[in-house]
Amino acid sequence: MTEINWNELRAAANAAMKKAYVPYSKFPVGVAALTDDGRVISGCNVENASYGLTLCAECSLVSQLAMTSSNGPAKLVAFTCVDGKGNILMPCGRCRQLLYEHSATGMILETVSGFKTIDEVIPDAFGPRDLEERK
């Protein structure tokens, strides 16, 4: 596994945040993650006048993951999320589940209360690993 450069991830999240489309909330969010094949991917939130159609930054990150994985699906090993001032944010519960779905075992998140594994931020989660075990 590639060593995690948190400064690089934060810089990528901040760069993505600057591309956010937030005409309604004025609350830009940027995210970045390291994949198990060593790539850094990022995403930002994209709002919609029909508020329920707004895409969280994590959604655009997972879309990037799918679009840029050429040798099968990559897994996320490290993740960070920032607001418009570069402050660390905790993903909401829906986005934690989305991240869990695409995480490597033990993925690390930078959170407002320090570094935590995906299992610590969404305990007892149910995802693809569970489906494989129950076949």
58 carries an active-site annotation: yes
9's enclosing H/E stretch is helix 6-17
* Catalytic annotation, pick one of 8, 47, 58, 132: 58
Distances (CA, A) of 43 to 8, 74, 85, 128, 130: 14, 16, 16, 23, 27
Three-class SS of residue 61? helix
Q: Rounded to an integer, what distance in angstroms lies between the CA atom of residue 42 and that of residue 79?
A: 9
CA dihedral 110→92→88→77, nearest 10 degrees, is 30
Order of strands across the sheet that contains 40-44 = 40-44, 30-35, 76-82, 103-111, 114-117
- DSSP element (H, E) containing 96: helix 93-101
- Enzyme catalytic residues: 58
